[in-house]
Amino acid sequence: MTKHVLLLCIAIILSTSVSRAQDSWGVGVSGAYNFPLKSIGVGVRGQIPLGVKMAVSPQVRYFPKTNQINEVYAVVAFQYNLLNPYQERGHKRYIYKNNKPTVYTTIEVAYNQWINYLPTLSKNAKKNNILGNVGLGAAIGSSSVRLFAEAKYNVLWNETFGEIGLLVFPGTIRKNRYSSCPKIK
């Protein structure tokens, strides 16, 4: 079941990212840390703009069995930019201003599968869970590569966690503008 969830989420990230015929979609990786449980995890994500101030971010986070709790998350996050690095270029076209920070809020809906589930004192925790997370994030970098950090709060389990990662925006990577053809004298 877990492998199927991971494959489905990766397929969603890739298909929604590739289906955007713009230069502003991105893919990335992250490290996650659950503060109360002291768990370390890894993640992959996409970022698809819904406009200049909003984006949707399909994500998968995995906390391996080296932690006390072995679990996987399939997430759909909605981001709203509070501090926006985009500048209008004209005719409703915008450009990303390099090295200007982005500060955003995030709201997530997450499917969680607790792989090594054991009954606990918490009545809310089950093997399969639907969770809501809220948080704040920041990103900085160029139009091609950005570092991000997010702090989030799980409203159902009263847990805080954070993520730090890297996003790459392949459509904005500049190609050599000069021809490689030899000059004719």
Instruction: Give the highest mean pLDDT range of 46-60, 95-109, 120-134.
Output: 46-60
Q: E strands along the chain, which residues? A: 26-34, 39-49, 54-63, 71-83, 86-90, 93-96, 102-114, 128-141, 145-154, 159-168
Res 83: pLDDT:
86
* Alpha helix positions (H), the chain: 2-19
pTM of the model: 0.77
Q: What is the pLDDT of residue 123?
A: 76
